[in-house]
């Protein structure tokens, strides 16, 4: 299948230039949306033409309105009584489903279009009763939708528009078969819109090949989105305990409303959480081992301000839309540029200020420099004298920014971990050579040869 790619950086327009129905424009005005975000400016006109789209854009980019508005526009024009489900939005989690329902209702407030929700964790019979009233737009998670389908409560054969939101995450969560089955049930659809936060791997490509027809691929220029309002810093660290010490300092000394600390594994997320609790810092932890109830409780309390700090793994934190999030700390460097963009994209939203800090040991250095090249920017090097360690970057760096002539020392981390301790960290040694300040960052094609995403650690 031929995929056309469009790399978009700056697309500006105003909503009134989009050929949306006046009732939708009224809702947009009511919500005080003045300018479409880049993903909206790029996707809405093509979606209104009826094209299938594959869009790479992260949470916070305004992606929901990018598919909801054209979808409602199509349904508004339908004549006569509506007695069938006309649009299905498939997404990975209950929280995202609830957020999306709110968004649909806000945009549909001046129309007669009704939306319904089918997710796990809710009363099955009540959902079946809601389905008997037949919403125009159905929003749901794959597992429960299939259960309702298998119980004979759901007819998707009249669905005209199918949206797969956060498709990469649904695949990460093992929903591939369920997604395919549900797509198959929407056999008469006229349009499919697939959104993912990352460019994904083979599973996503496979899904795209199966469910989209000659899609236009919109890649939103994450770099320009990141540059707005979010400072990006790196702090070098000697080992994990040193990172914990730095985090403690940051949480005590930075001014922030809400912070997320990302780790690559759930074990480390639990460990960081335990460390914070031990230091009397109130925090919540979110990872794949948590059940739905704990997850929801942690998210709700974090949103309400029950704690200012959330420790999370990537998969667990996908799709969260949290107001006032202005500090992101990468305990580990994410394993891909996309994942970095996704983590950092949560701060500095809607013009707000954000700060992103990555903690870099000897083992993280090369990954960090790959991500710098991918983003075509150099992160600000920050040194905090109160928690300064001995490592300050490789002695020599190559033109690519990677460490020169450094063989991976397998024992480094262990040794560091063993010897680590607050005293050891505080003992200062003369820092080693700093990286070349103006080392070129971009490779010839501008896209760094980043490694493929490692299998999800979740």
Interface contacts to ligand AMP, rule CB under 6 A: 33, 35-37, 40, 59-65, 321, 350
How far apart are CB 330 and ligand AMP at their closest, in Å?
A: 21
Distance CA 144, CA 398 (A): 52
To 10 degrees, the CA torsion angle through 237, 242, 246, 249?
Answer: -150
Distance CA 368, CA 199 (A): 19
How far apart are CB 347 and ligand AMP at their closest, in Å?
A: 13
How far apart are CB 350 and ligand AMP at their closest, in Å?
A: 6
How far apart are CB 130 and ligand AMP at their closest, in Å?
A: 24
How far apart are CB 67 and ligand AMP at their closest, in Å?
A: 9
How far apart are CB 122 and ligand AMP at their closest, in Å?
A: 22
Q: 238 by DSSP, 3-state: which?
A: coil
How far apart are CB 349 and ligand AMP at their closest, in Å?
A: 7
How far apart are CB 28 and ligand AMP at their closest, in Å?
A: 8
- Using the structure block, give the residue that is written with the tokens 């094209």: 51
Determine contact, residues 328/356, Cβ cutoff 8 Å.
yes
By beta-carbon proximity to ligand AMP, the closer residue of 100 and 336 is 100
By beta-carbon proximity to ligand AMP, the closer residue of 91 and 316 is 91
Structure tokens at 134: 């037949």
216 φψ region: left (φ > 0), alpha (ψ -120 to 50), beta (else): beta
Determine contact, residues 248/266, Cβ cutoff 8 Å.
no
To 10 degrees, the CA torsion angle through 294, 153, 158, 51?
Answer: 20
Determine whether 434 is exposed, middle or buried from the number of CB atoms within 10 Å of its CB (0-12, 13-18, 19+). Answer: middle
By beta-carbon proximity to ligand AMP, the closer residue of 40 and 232 is 40
By beta-carbon proximity to ligand AMP, the closer residue of 33 and 256 is 33
Which positions ≥6 away from 433 have C-beta within 8 Å? Answer: 392, 393, 394, 395, 396
To 10 degrees, the CA torsion angle through 217, 223, 224, 229?
Answer: 140
φ/ψ (deg, to 5) at 306:
-60, -25
How far apart are CB 68 and ligand AMP at their closest, in Å?
A: 8
Query: Positive or negative CA dihedral for 241, 243, 246, 248?
Result: negative
Distance CA 97, CA 248 (A): 34
Q: Quick one: the chain helix, strand, coil %, rounded to 5?
A: 40, 15, 45
């Amino acid at each position: 299948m031929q995929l056309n790619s469009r790399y978009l950086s700056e697309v500006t327009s105003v909503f009134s230039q989009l050929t949306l129905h006046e009732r939708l424009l009224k809702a947009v005005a009511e919500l005080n949306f003045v300018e479409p975000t880049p993903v909206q400016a790029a996707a809405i006109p093509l979606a209104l033409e009826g094209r299938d789209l594959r869009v790479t854009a992260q949470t916070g980019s305004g992606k929901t309105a990018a598919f909801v508005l054209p979808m409602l526009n199509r349904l508004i024009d339908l004549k006569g009584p509506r007695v069938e489900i006309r649009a299905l939005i498939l997404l990975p989690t209950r929280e995202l489903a609830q957020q999306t329902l709110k968004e649909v209702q806000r945009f549909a407030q001046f129309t007669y279009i009704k939306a319904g929700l089918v997710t796990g964790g809710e009363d099955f019979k009540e959902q079946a009763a809601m389905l008997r009233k037949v919403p125009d737009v159905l929003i749901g998670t794959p597992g429960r939708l299939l259960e309702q389908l298998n119980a004979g409560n759901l007819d998707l054969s009249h669905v005209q528009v199918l949206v797969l939101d956060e498709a990469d995450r649904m695949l990460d969560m093992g929903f591939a078969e369920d997604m395919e089955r549900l797509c198959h049930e929407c056999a008469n659809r006229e349009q499919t819109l697939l959104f993912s936060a990352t460019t994904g791997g083979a599973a996503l490509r496979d899904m795209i090949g199966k469910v989209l027809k000659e899609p236009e691929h919109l890649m939103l220029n994450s770099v320009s989105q990141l540059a707005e309002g979010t400072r990006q810093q790196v702090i070098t660290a000697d080992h994990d305990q040193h990172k914990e010490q730095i985090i403690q300092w940051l949480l005590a000394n930075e001014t922030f409303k809400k912070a997320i600390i990302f780790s690559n594994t759930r074990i480390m997320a639990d460990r960081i959480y335990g460390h914070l609790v031990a230091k009397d810092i109130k925090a919540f932890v979110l990872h794949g081992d948590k059940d739905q109830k704990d997850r929801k409780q942690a998210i709700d309390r974090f949103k309400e301000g029950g704690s200012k700090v959330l420790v999370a793994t990537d998969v667990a934190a996908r799709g969260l839309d949290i107001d006032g999030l202005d500090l992101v700390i990468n305990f580990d460097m994410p394993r891909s540029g996309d994942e970095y963009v996704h983590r950092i994209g949560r701060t500095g939203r809607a013009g707000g200020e954000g700060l992103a800090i990555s903690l870099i040991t000897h083992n993280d250095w090369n990954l960090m420099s790959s991500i710098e090249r991918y983003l075509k920017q150099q992160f600000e090097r920050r040194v905090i004298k109160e928690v300064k360690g001995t490592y300050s970057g490789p002695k020599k760096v190559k033109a690519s920014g990677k460490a020169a002539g450094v063989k991976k020392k397998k024992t480094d981390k262990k040794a560091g971990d063993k010897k680590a301790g607050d005293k050891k960290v505080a003992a200062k040694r003369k820092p080693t050579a700093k990286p070349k300040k103006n080392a070129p960052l971009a490779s010839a094609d501008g896209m760094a040869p980043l490694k493929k995403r490692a299998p999800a650690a979740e």
